[in-house]
């Protein structure tokens, strides 16, 4: 499943690989201020349940070290920080400075900043020691990286033996009628919500398109296995609109 190093997709557009990170950065720089509000509106609040389900599958406990990649506004980091306690730690990363600042402000507001550190970095080139973290998570961020295989390899490197990776991401509904209804909602409604609430229809058009270009459940499972993860399994949520993939490093 090696990536083409010369070109990739940005939504439905084909762009050179070295362009994508900048284009994605522009999207998230634009939507950062309304990111949480839009998540609630687009998912009718269900994203909170999906993230809690991911945390419940994490195995994280007091004293653990957790890496939340592309952590956005800090939803998972807040939950993990409370689980690991004062003897553990959470590292929240994002490639986008505006999103990372949103996350920092949210964690401060929730009073959980003491055991959390922040790093602006690329998911494909994580600047951490090998075998450093008990758990690595990435929620709704993997589809935005340029080379998914490189990001999975980078995350594999920093997970400790016995640790796990959680990938929570939009995926592909299996029921055809449901998939058609979901497509109609995604392409006709979500960009309009983005226009009315965030003042940015184009960014949400990209986000909808990026979901359709993301690998399906079985393909992502195979990619995680190729990166070295074992006992990889996935859970379909909301009829497959979202899937949580879990893989272990041994």
Domain boundaries, the chain: 36-171+214-248
Q: What is the dihedral of CA 221, 92, 34, 188, to 10 degrees?
A: -10
Please write the tens of the pLDDT for every residue from 164-221.
999 999 999 989 999 999 999 999 999 998 888 888 888 889 889 999 999 999 999 9
Q: Which of 247, 90, 93 is nearest to 164 (CA)?
A: 247
Query: How buried is residue 53: exposed, middle or buried, by Cβ count under 10 Å (0-12/13-18/19+)?
Result: middle
Does residue 3 have a pLDDT over 50? no
pLDDT of residue 5: 59
Could you tell me which CATH class the domain 36-171+214-248 is placed in?
A: alpha beta
- Collapse the DSSP code of 182 into the 3-class scheme (helix H, G, I; strand E, B; otherwise coil) and give the result: helix
Q: Is the pTM value of this prediction over 0.75?
A: yes
Please write the tens of the pLDDT for every residue from 37-66.
778 888 999 999 999 999 999 999 999 999
């Amino acid at each position: 499943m090696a990536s083409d190093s010369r070109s990739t997709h940005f939504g439905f557009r084909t762009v050179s690989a070295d362009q994508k990170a900048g284009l994605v950065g522009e999207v998230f720089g634009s939507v950062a201020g309304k990111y949480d509000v839009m998540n609630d509106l687009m998912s009718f609040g269900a994203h909170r349940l999906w993230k809690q389900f991911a945390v419940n599958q994490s195995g994280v406990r007091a004293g653990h070290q957790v890496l939340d990649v592309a952590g956005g506004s800090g939803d998972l980091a807040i939950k993990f920080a409370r689980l690991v306690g004062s003897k553990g730690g959470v590292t929240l990363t994002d490639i986008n400075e505006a999103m990372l600042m949103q996350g920092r402000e949210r964690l401060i507001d929730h009073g959980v900043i003491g055991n959390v550190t922040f790093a602006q970095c690329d998911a494909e080139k994580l600047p951490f020691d090998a075998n450093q973290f008990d758990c690595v998570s990435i929620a709704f961020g993997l589809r935005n990286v340029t080379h998914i295989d490189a990001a999975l390899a980078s995350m594999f490197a920093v997970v400790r033996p016995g640790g796990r990776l959680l990938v929570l991401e939009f995926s592909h509904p299996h029921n055809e009628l449901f998939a058609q209804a979901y497509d109609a909602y995604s392409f006709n409604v979500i960009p309009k919500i983005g226009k009315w609430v965030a003042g940015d229809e184009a960014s949400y058009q990209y986000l909808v398109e990026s979901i359709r270009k993301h690998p399906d459940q079985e393909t992502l499972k195979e990619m995680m296995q190729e990166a070295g993860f074992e006992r990889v399994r996935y859970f379909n949520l909301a009829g497959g609109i979202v899937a949580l993939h879990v893989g272990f490093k041994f």
